[in-house]
Structure 1
Amino acid sequence: MDLRRLLAFGSAVGIEIRGPRLEIAVARVRPQGIDVLGRTTLENFHERPAAEWGREYAAFVKRCGGAHLAVTVLLPRREVIVRQVAFPGIPRKELPAALALEIDSLHPYGEDDVAWAWAPLGSGAALVGIARRATLDRYQELFAGARIRVACFTFSASAIHAALRIGKREARDFLTVSEGAAGGYEFYGESRTRPLFSAEFDLPLERAATLAASELRLADGAAPEPLYALLPQPRSNPVENDLSRNALPYATALAGACPRLAPAANLLPAHLRATGSAAAYAPTAVLALLLLLLAGALAGFRAFDQRRYLARLRAEIARLEPEALRAAALDRQIDNIRSRTRLLDDFRLRAKKDLDAVNELTGLLAPPAWVHVLDLTRDGVVINGEAEQPAAFLKIIDASPYFENSDFSVQFARSPAPNNAETFRIHTRREAGR
């Protein structure tokens, strides 16, 4: 299902002004198909009071369930000048200004006030309809007197062009013909060489068809097709709506039902246009609702995704926590082993330093001095011994790179014979790292 089919959503009333009659059709367009809700004819509307035939119209649309619908009115072909103009290279948004500059050259009404409207044809081309302002005002007052809310005054070429683009149609050259209200034949066609052709001929059908086909550059012998065969076919259609006899009211209703999908040229000023079916806004409302639902779902999904992420994170933490605890225990064991290793290394180095200190003292306290007790600690040494002249030992010991701050802990005492030496007790500090 393509996007254009999804946007085909709306309902409208189409009224063709056909001589003394008003041909009325009510159509409902949905993506699933088109339904014709009703078809009727109001006779001699010009000769009767507007309120009278306005009541007949109101009763008819009420039976069809379309009392709330605005109306698209198809003006008589002979009261509208139809032109096809091209402005190659001009963007679509600039076409209204370009048409306004050329509009006086497109109609034969001279200084008379005119109303004009246009519809895009693509590639810088536009379909333009021009009517006398007095004619438009007369019809506007007539429908206002009948209390009929009009949303659009258009013409047959624009209505057919819009109606053909509601359904899915094969792009091909064609020519269609319908009988005019005042006699003659009205032709409409499209081709690769000419985007649109619309004209009314007071000639025999064969001669008029030949002229129309030549305007479209169609192949020789191309016969005009009936309009109803080209229009989107309805799913349901009342018996009284014989499309083979007159399909223009149906085409007008289709053009009014989906103005955004296939806009028709609207001669009615914008400030005078009645609002159409509320169902026309249903796609916008549905899309807005879907957007709100999507935004809510996105916000909810973010919260859900965050909770799910936190749950996964907690599960991963719980899974890795035993390994992290084992790693922390291993780190503590490694630190303990390193401490023990350093302690053993220090102890090994301490024994060597102690032996170096003892060896140094052995050299410093040479015989005949001798030592009774040697108390060696990490930061000091206590020496108990005998010597003939111990006073000189302090300078000797402090001069060593291993010791410093030596002093005698007790007074000298003479040892008994036969040694005849003095006893001493020296306390000295070991230098750092020794």
Structure 2
Amino acid sequence: MEMRSWLAFGTGAGIEIQGGDLLVTVSRVRPKGITVLGQTVIANFRDRPAAEWGAEYDSFLRAHGAGYLSATLVLPRRDVIVRLVQLPGVADKDLPAAIGYQVDSLHPWGEDEIEFAWQRVSTRGAVMVGMVRRETVLALAERFGEAGVSLAAFTFSAGALHGGARLLSQPPKEGFFLALEARGESEIYGESPSRPVFTAAFDLPLERAAALAVSELRLEPGTAPANPAQILPPPLLPADFDLSRSRTSYAASLAGACPRLARAANLLPAAYRSGNSRTMYLPAIALSLVLGLCATGLFVYKVYTDKQYAAELEQEVTELRARNRRVTELDKELGETKQRIETLDAFRSRTRLDMDALAELTRLLPPPIFANSLQVSRDSVIVAGEAEQAAPLLQVIDSSPHFHQSAFAVSLVHSANGELFRIRALRQKPPAPGGQP
């Protein structure tokens, strides 16, 4: 959301003259979006008594809580001539005079008196100028005055669309055009990098008018008309609002709601303008101030509580870290103690296992077999001696639960009394009695 959209507050009424009917749209603008409060068609306003359709219009506004509004009226496109004038370097205060010098060359009405209005459409000095016969303006102003309709502005479709497209966001930079076909005429409004504004009415089919618009705007060939919802800010409510049919009156209502943000050139003489009451903004301003104070208080309180909570968390973290270090130290000490106990148990069991192995060898090698050397290590035993027949000794030793994989370390040597042997056997822990571990 752009910063300028935070200033988008207001309610406006837009009126579009469609032949003999008036299309009236009332919109409420807020930074979060736009709501169309209501829309109506006042039929045949030119032939009906002004008081009659004026009362219908007033009832419609009051039904939507907008009876105080002064409307923005969009003049028929055929009554307005729009020109794009290049005035680079001319300040805003000098623009009326600069345009006034050449306005007579911009319209075909000769000596007829006219009303003109302008609005900037680019930062490079391009100005859109709208012109209308004064008699047309005065006739409509008198007609609406008889009906009791308050008017804040007379504008034209291009002015309303240009301002409305920039109310809450910016239109596509690559360019676009909108097309509308009504009563046998095609109206085009478009923008592009090469042409800040293009607006025209054609007595041509819509497809042909669109092709001419693409050429004038120098858009890519085959570019289709844009959806109005992509250019104008689409209303949040109602969901079924037909923006394509009501885009001009909708844009005029936005210009009436936020005349500084959605500026539209005003062709209505100052003497005929009715302003919207500024007192209607007082409740909103007061509520905004209260809301701002509440928001500030909540923010300050939140910052304070966050700091307090962070300090408490830091204290708890410090305490938990100390406890965690103590637990880690205890785990380390417990592991070392357990390792010492296991080492002591292993040393204690070694003597018993060695004695068991010696007793087992004594049992396995009874006289007349005798051993003249015995080497006992943690994983094996080597016994050397003499027997009448040494070969069966391997099977005898392997039958013991204390030994396995016995083998002669050296070849047998025959002696006077038998055979000299040297046997190496791997040790294994015998199962505990009763199958207990």
Q: TM-score, with normalisation over the residues of structure 2?
A: 0.63
Alignment pair present for 1:49 and 2:49: yes
Q: Which residue of 2 aligns with 1:130?
A: 131
Q: Which moves more between the two structures, 52-61 or 115-124?
A: 115-124
What amino acid does structure 1 have at the position aligned with 2:187?
E
Q: CA deviation at 1:280?
A: 7.5
Q: CA deviation at 1:91?
A: 2.3
Distance 1:289 1:54, change over 3 A: same
Which digits, 9 at most, give the CA deviation of each residue in 1:41-72, with x for residues without a partner? 01111110000000111111111110011100
Alignment pair present for 1:72 and 2:77: no
- Alpha-carbon distance in structure 2 between the residues aligned to 1:283 and 1:4: 21
Describe the SS at the equivalent of 1:35.
strand
Distance 1:250 1:264, change over 3 A: same
Q: What are the residue-to-residue correspondences of 1:306-321 with 2, within 5 Å? A: none
Alignment pair present for 1:175 and 2:203: no
Aligned residues: 291
What amino acid does structure 2 have at the position aligned with 1:14?
G
- Alpha-carbon distance in structure 2 between the residues aligned to 1:287 and 1:128: 39
Describe the SS at the equivalent of 1:246.
helix
Which digits, 9 at most, give the CA deviation of each residue in 1:70-111, with x for residues without a partner? 100000000001111111222233211100101100111100
CA contact (8 A) 2:21 2:41 kept: yes
Q: Which residue of 2 aligns with 1:297?
A: none
Q: Which residue of 1 aligns with 2:386?
A: none
Which digits, 9 at most, give the CA deviation of each residue in 1:196-229, with x for residues without a partner? 0000111122221111111111011111123244
Distance 1:179 1:51, change over 3 A: same
Describe the SS at the equivalent of 1:98.
helix
Describe the SS at the equivalent of 2:159.
helix
- Alpha-carbon distance in structure 2 between the residues aligned to 1:273 and 1:80: 19
Q: Which residue of 2 aligns with 1:253?
A: 253
Q: Which residue of 2 aligns with 1:154?
A: 155
Q: Which residue of 1 aligns with 2:274?
A: 274
Unmatched runs of 5 consecutive residues or more in structure 2: 294-437
Describe the SS at the equivalent of 1:248.
helix
Q: CA deviation at 1:270?
A: 2.0
CA contact (8 A) 1:160 1:255 kept: no
What amino acid does structure 1 have at the position aligned with 2:226?
E
Over the aligned positions, Cα root-mean-square deviation in angstroms equals 2.4
Distance 1:275 1:102, change over 3 A: same
Describe the SS at the equivalent of 1:25.
strand
Q: Which residue of 2 aligns with 1:400?
A: none
CA contact (8 A) 1:50 1:142 kept: yes
Q: Which residue of 2 aligns with 1:206?
A: 207
- Alpha-carbon distance in structure 1 between the residues aligned to 2:279 and 2:205: 44
Q: CA deviation at 1:262?
A: 2.2
Q: Which residue of 1 aligns with 2:29?
A: 29
- Alpha-carbon distance in structure 1 between the residues aligned to 2:106 and 2:172: 29
- Alpha-carbon distance in structure 2 between the residues aligned to 1:37 and 1:163: 17
Q: Which residue of 2 aligns with 1:94?
A: 94
Q: TM-score, with normalisation over the residues of structure 1?
A: 0.63
Unmatched runs of 5 consecutive residues or more in structure 1: 294-434
Q: Which residue of 1 aligns with 2:40?
A: 40
Q: CA deviation at 1:242?
A: 2.1
- Alpha-carbon distance in structure 2 between the residues aligned to 1:2 and 1:93: 27
Q: Which residue of 1 aligns with 2:415?
A: none
Alignment pair present for 1:222 and 2:218: no
CA contact (8 A) 2:254 2:262 kept: no
Describe the SS at the equivalent of 1:244.
helix
- Alpha-carbon distance in structure 2 between the residues aligned to 1:81 and 1:268: 15
- Alpha-carbon distance in structure 1 between the residues aligned to 2:102 and 2:94: 13
Distance 1:198 1:283, change over 3 A: farther
- Alpha-carbon distance in structure 2 between the residues aligned to 1:144 and 1:238: 34
Which digits, 9 at most, give the CA deviation of each residue in 1:318-342, with x for residues without a partner? xxxxxxxxxxxxxxxxxxxxxxxxx
CA contact (8 A) 2:117 2:131 kept: yes
- Alpha-carbon distance in structure 2 between the residues aligned to 1:190 and 1:2: 21
Q: CA deviation at 1:32?
A: 1.6
Q: Which residue of 2 aligns with 1:189?
A: 190
Which digits, 9 at most, give the CA deviation of each residue in 1:123-167, with x for residues without a partner? 211111100000000000010011010000000000000100112
Identity of aligned residues (%): 51
Alignment pair present for 1:145 and 2:150: no
Q: Which residue of 2 aligns with 1:346?
A: none
Q: What are the residue-to-residue correspondences of 1:238-387 with 2, within 5 Å? A: 241-276=241-276, 278=278, 281=281, 285=285
- Alpha-carbon distance in structure 2 between the residues aligned to 1:282 and 1:202: 49
Q: CA deviation at 1:283?
A: 10
